[in-house]
Structures are given as structure tokens and as C-alpha cells.
A and B are shown apart, each in its own frame.
Chain A
Amino acid sequence: MNIMIVGATSAIATATARLFAERRDHLFLIARNGERLSDLVADLKVRGAQSVGTLTLDFDDFSTHLSAVTEAANFLQQIDVALLCHGVLPDQAAGEENFKLALNAINTNGISVISLLTAIAQRLRTQGTGTIAVITSVAGMRGRQPNFIYGAAKALVSTYLQGMRGRLYEHNVHVIDIRPGLVDSPMTARFEKGLLWTTPEVVAKTIVSSITKKKHTVYVPGYWRYIMLLVNAIPEFIFKRLKF
């Protein structure tokens, strides 16, 4: 398969790319950090990837997105899977005080994804085939005090994906919304980890299998579906008092 990965040096993307490489897939990787990207290319080749193309991209410069997708398509000839993994975890408290910080986080986690999705959807529609998989978050399902800037951006993407899924259905393009719970990765380095935490490797396995099985909305691990059912069932007059 020919797979394009955005945010390829993120822990989840790297773990997933390694599984694709073992299947001897063709990969095109897009990331912010060129040095880490070239290390990853060597790694994926040893693991079995047939070919690996790369592009360094500033996700917040939306004007470059269309040409980035074109470059990926030229390298891969056909994009069978586009996996979007990039994102940042903003400092919630600082973002509430300083709108510029909130805007940056929403741009990277939300708007840049929509921009890339627009270019990818065009390409896949023309191809008449393909799968788009995007990593959002359970944080997008209800705004919570400690991370509603991040959550709001993820909710934006999830809602967009829901509508886009229908739009692309008749073009034989499949859309998957992957919602991880708590993942122990460099993005969450500053948190104490407990029982509910999972690893990028576990998320990666789920991503690969949900692409094969053409799932729609995937929670990783699966029990987050039920945790979020409970969280969403809490009445607002109680929820607004919760600090978690």
C-alpha cells in the first residue's frame, strides 16, 4: 500500500509507520523536524519499507499544504491511506490568558488539519479510492477545565470528519476518526502516568487494524468509548464543578 503520514515523527505516527514498513508498504512522511525525519527514514527502510519519501513542512503555513499533498501523490503515485497525526498539547492556563497561544494551538490542532484534509480529499476524490485516518482525541468529546483549548480544536476536526465522511462516501473514499485516550508519549511527558494510560504501540496496532476493517470512529483503547459515555452522562450542573 502507498501511505502518506503527516506528523510522522510523533510517537504514535512513528509506531504506526513501523507497522506499515514491516508490511513492505511505500511511505511518504511529512514532519516539522527534518533531522528526526531522516533518522526515521533509515529506521523504516531497515524494517522493510519499500520506499520512503519525505517532506519538511510548517503545518501552520496553510499555503504550502496543497503542494505538499501533490508532492506526496507524485511520490506514491496513488495515496491509498492518508494518516494525519500532527498536533501539540498547549498549556491551558497560559492559553486562557493569552489568546495568541490559544490561537496557535487551535491553528495547529484544528485549522491546519482542515486545510490538509481539503487538499487530501480533492486528491482522493479524483482517484476514486483511498482512506483518510485522522487522530483526534477523547478530549474533543466534552470540554473539560484542564484542556478545553486542545479539546475544542479536536472537536472541530471530529465534527468536520463526520460530515466529510458522508461527502466522500459516494467517491469510495473512507474516513476514520481515531480517538485515543491517554497516551504515554513525548507530548504528555509532563504528566504522572496511571492505570488508564496506554502506549503509542498499542494505538498504532489499532490504527492499522481499523484501516483494514474500515471503521468509522475508533476509541483507543476500546474502553474509552464507555468512559466517555459516562463522562458525557454527567449533568452539566455537576460537570461544571469538576476540575479533572
Chain B
Amino acid sequence: MEITGWGRFPKVTADVHEPVDFSSLQMLLTNNNPATKLVARGAGRSYGDSALAQCVISSRFMDNFSTLDESNLTIRCGAGVTLDAILRVCVPRGWFLPVVPGTSHVSVGGAIAADVHGKNHHVDGTFCDHLTAITLLLANGDLLSCSPSKNQEIFHATCGGMGLTGIIIDATIQLRAVPGAFIQSHSLVANNLRECFELFENNQGNHYSVAWLDCLARGPALGRSILFLGDHIADRHKRPAAYQTRLGITVPFNTPGFLLNRQSMTLFNNTYFKLKRRASKPATVKYNSFFFPLDNIANWNRLYGAKGFLQYQFLVPKDSAYEAIAAVLHKVAKSGKGSFLSVLKKMGPANKNYLSFPASGFTLALDFKFERSLLPLLEQLDEIVLAYSGRLYLAKDARMNEKVFKAGYPQWEKFAEIKRKVDPKGLFASLQSDRIGLTDALY
């Protein structure tokens, strides 16, 4: 069948298997033709081709919880369980996931493979920093338990390892108690990029911080943005903590891509900036509207039209972050190609995982409707990112080349060495891992 990542580019034909239990999963590995590469797929929320291969193994039915340890606040569940499902269980008990990305519809397996981060990276690190154990199915059919203290090397290769070390079967996640299901949030206005950087610097104490940025603003307004800050609080009205269901709307089909053009996007961004500038008072908001605003709109990826879209997320080290991001914004604003989703975030220090994206510095994510003329622009952006010793986020990528990857992830060789040990025949590979020279060239 034809499948894609969340960005709907590229589209490929693949054999997709949805094993319903462990024995049928094992059978898939043992019966696999050695020439066919496999990759695991969770909720399909990585944007590009990280979870695309000739043969795709979906964790859709590996979605059982196994234990909830109420005294140590840990939960063990299958790789196919979504963060949304975990919140359904935790929130009513007054607990929360220590790290959530911008959507709750990712699977635990995907969150581990991409070592996702959230608005609190500067305080709490990544999703994988809160795992107490994972179970991995290796290429030879064996199960391996690993953790920060057991089979450490394989653990650090699997966290952020994009599914290339094996198939993640289950994980044990450390939860945390929170005062309530609400977030005390307020927003601050930055009229340009410099102001935005200062605001990040001066508001380090907030648990959660992230900025929406108008990537189409030019001249003195370049980098104008709204910084959103938040902390968990109890509800003033003493309502018990409850899982918050959403009054969702659905985008039923692909909207014509031409609706997203320079004029419409500029209009949207101007309006959004002006509205948010007015409404910057502190407010108590539900956790889902703070963390997962886009989860309200099912299939929002269809807004970008049938050809799909690319997200370009890069990270640059702190010292030269301002120059690098200003240079990227100049290029993007000049091209007129950006869109409404541009997100800037100050990150904390890196962890020990070989291929994890986050490190001290700033990360900017930009969405672009797919069009042929986009690719040369992104290559120009790659050059800027490389010149400032930056890297691109694998979970968002669908097009970076081998050189950009290897320059951005200096520990790739260490990763490849471990991968050779656990997967000597090179069973696990994705279109992405082949493209960036992480798999094909190894064998």
C-alpha cells in the first residue's frame, strides 16, 4: 500500500504489517527475505521518510499497558501506546508525562526513536531522559532489556536511533506528580529577533517556554515573535484533574495547495501577531490547549495540499545562534516561502544519546508547502546551518544529504559501530537512513 510520513512527502509503496501479538511480530522477522529492509513505524507522526521502507512494521496493535506502579510513579506500556493514551490514564491521578512534544498523537516507540523534546527541554531534557527501561527486539529475534544502567550503549543508540537498532517493544516511563491539569500561561511580545532572544534569556525560570515566530516579517521586524511561558498549577475552581477531550474539527480532504501563498500567509501572520499582542495577560489554560494546540484539528497536514509539506527544523549552538537564525530568516523572508508554523525554542544541554537532536542552543522549525523550487532554498539553508556548526532534526527531515547529516551528528560513527553489533546483516533501515549514509554504506 501507499504510505507517507506526516508531511505527506515522499509517498512510497510498502508492505505494511500490523502484528497483533509478539509471536506474529517475531514471525515477520524470521520469515523476512534478507534482501528486504525493515523499519518500525508508530503513529506515523515523523514528517519525512524516517519510518518508510520496503517493509514497514506498525506498532498499532502493540498498544497495551502492562503495569502502573503507583508508588514509584512509573508506567510500562507497549511501543504503540500513544502519549494521549498515557495522559488519559495519568492526568486523573494527578500525574503527567515529564516531557511531551507538540502533539500527543505520537507513539511511545516513535517518541523514543526520535528522542523527542518539549517546551521544557531547558529544564527536563528529552523524553528518553525519563525512561527507566526499554525492551528491544533485535534482528536475530532475541529480546534485549536495556536502560541507562544496563546494556547502556545499546540504550543510548536506541534512544534517538530512529528505529535502526531493532524494534522497540515496550518502555517504562517515569511519570511525575503535578499540582493540576492546568497551566498558568502568559505570553510576551518580541518586536524582533534580538528582543526574542533576550526574553528567552530573562525567562529561564519558567518550566515551559516556546516562541511562535513570524517567519515572513522583514526588515526591522525580522524575527518578531510571541514567547509563550507556562507552569503547572492547580485549578482555581478546585475542579479535579481530568483528561481533557478535545472538541476537534477535521480537515476532511486536501485543500488546494495554492491557498497557502505569500499573501494569505502574511495576512494570517499579521493578524495572529496583532491578536496575540493584545491578549498577552496571564491566564489559566487547559494543558491540552497549551501543549497540543494543533491536536484540535485532525489531519491538519492536509491543509498543505496534495503534494504535502516539509518541516525544516535545525539547531545551532548558543554562541552564534542569533547570527545563524537571522541569516536563515533573511533567506526565508526574502523567498516568501515560509508559512504559519514557525517555532523557536532555547534548548538545554545534550544527553548521552548518539543521535539525539537537542543540544545547548536554539532550534527553529519552519514549515514549507512542498514545491519543486523549495529544495534549492533548503540547500541554501543547510549551508548556513553547517557554517554555524548546526544540525537538522531527523524526525522532521525528508531530504538532507549525507554530508549535512554527518557534519551535524559527529557521533554517527559510534552509532554505526553499535548498529553493526546488534544488526550485523543490516536488517533495519529506512529510506532516510540509506539516504544519509547511515545504513546502506555500512554493509
Q: With A48-B89, A186-B61 in contact, do A42 and B67 touch (Cβ < 8 Å)?
A: yes
Contact in complex: A40, B64 (CB < 8 Å): yes
Other-chain residue from B1, B20, B23, B68 in contact with A46 (beta carbon distance below 8 A):
B68
Given contacts A40-B64, A186-B61, A192-B1, contact A46 B75 (CB under 8 A): yes
Contacting residues, chain A, for B383 (C-beta < 8 A): none
CA A9 to CA B21, docked complex, whole Å: 11
Kindly state whether residue A47 has any CB partner on chain B within 8 Å: yes
Contact residues in B for A40 (Cβ distance below 8 Å): 64
Instruction: Determine the residue in chain B with the shortest Cβ distance to A43.
Output: B64
In the bound complex, do residue A186 and residue B18 qualify as a contact, i.e. CB atoms below 8 Å apart?
Answer: yes
Q: Is A230 an interface residue (CB 8 A)?
A: no
Tell whether B322 is near chain A: CB-to-CB under 8 Å: no
CA A42 to CA B63, docked complex, whole Å: 12
Closest A residue, CB atoms, query B16: A189
Bound together, the chains give a CA A33 to CA B68 distance in angstroms of 24
* B20: A residues at CB distance < 8 A: 9, 36, 186
For residue A11, CB closer than 8 A to chain B, the reply is yes
Write the nearest CB–CB distance from A174 to chain B, whole angstroms.
27
Is B65 on the interface with A (CB-CB < 8 A)?
Answer: yes
> Within 8 Å of chain A (Cβ to Cβ): is B66?
yes
B88 at the interface (CB under 8 A from A): yes
**B66:A46 contact, CB within 8 angstroms:** yes
Provided the pairs A11-B61, A48-B89, A192-B1 are in contact, do residues A43 and B18 lie with their beta carbons within 8 angstroms? no
Chain B residues lying within 8 Å of A43, measured Cβ to Cβ, are: 64-66
Interface Cβ pair total, 8 Å cutoff: 36
Whether A42 and B65, one on each chain, are in contact in the complex, defined by CB atoms closer than 8 angstroms, is yes
For window 33-85 of B, CB contacts with A under 8 Å fall at 61, 64-68, 75, 77
Q: Which of B23, B67, B89 contacts A47 (CB 8 A)?
A: B89
Q: Give A43 to B77 CA distance when docked, in angstroms.
A: 8
CA A48 – CA B75 in complex, angstroms? 13
Residues of chain A contacted by B75 (CB below 8 angstroms): 46
A35 at the interface (CB under 8 A from B): yes
CB contact under 8 A between A46 and B21, given known A22-B88, A192-B1: no
In the complex, chain A residues 19-56 whose Cβ is within 8 Å of any chain B Cβ: 22, 33, 35-36, 39-40, 42-43, 46-48
Decide: A46 near B18, CB < 8 A? Known: A22-B88, A192-B1.
no
Q: Tally B residues with Cβ within 8 Å of A.
A: 15
Tell me the complex Cα distance, A33–B23, Å: 12
A52 to B: closest C-beta gap in Å: 13
Q: A47-B89, A186-B18, A192-B1 are in contact. Are A42 and B66 (CB under 8 A)?
A: yes
Flag if A42 contacts B88 (CB, 8 Å).
no
Contact B89 A39 (CB under 8 A): no
Say whether B88 contacts A46, CB under 8 Å.
no
Which residues of B are found within 8 Å of A9, using beta-carbon distances?
20
Say whether B61 contacts A42, CB under 8 Å. Answer: no
When chains A and B are docked, how far (Å) is the Cα of A33 from the Cα of B22?
13
Name, among B20, B21, B77, the residue most crowded by chain A CB atoms within 10 Å (CB to CB). B20
**Min C-beta distance of B241 to chain A, whole Å:** 14
Residue of B nearest to A18 (CB): B85
Bound: A9/B64 CA distance, A: 11
Residues of A within 8 A of B66 (CB): 39, 42-43, 46
B residues less than 8 Å from A46 (CB atoms):
65-68, 75, 77, 89
Cβ contacts under 8 Å, B1 to chain A: 192-193
Please measure, in the bound complex, the distance between the C-alpha atom of A171 and the C-alpha atom of B65, giving whole angstroms: 39
CA distance A35 to B22 in the complex (A): 10
Contacts of A39 in B (CB 8 A): 21, 64, 66
Using A42-B67, A43-B64 as known contacts, say yes or no to A189 and B89 having CB atoms under 8 A apart.
no
Per the bound structure, the CA–CA distance linking A22 and B90 in Å amounts to 11
Report chain A residues within 8 Å CB of B68. 46
A35 contacts B88, C-beta separation under 8 Å: no
CA distance A11 to B19 in the complex (A): 12
Q: A11-B61, A186-B61 are in contact. List 11 more A-B contacts (CB 8 A).
A: A35-B21, A36-B20, A36-B21, A39-B64, A40-B64, A46-B67, A46-B75, A46-B77, A46-B89, A47-B65, A193-B1
A-B contact pairs, 19 of them (CB 8 A): A9-B20, A33-B21, A35-B23, A39-B66, A42-B66, A42-B67, A43-B65, A46-B65, A46-B66, A46-B67, A46-B68, A46-B77, A46-B89, A47-B88, A47-B89, A186-B20, A186-B61, A189-B18, A193-B1
List 4 tightest A-B contacts by C-beta distance, closest first.
A46-B65, A43-B64, A46-B68, A43-B65
Seen from chain B, the residues whose Cβ lies within 8 Å of a Cβ on chain A are 1, 18, 20-21, 23, 61, 64-68, 75, 77, 88-89
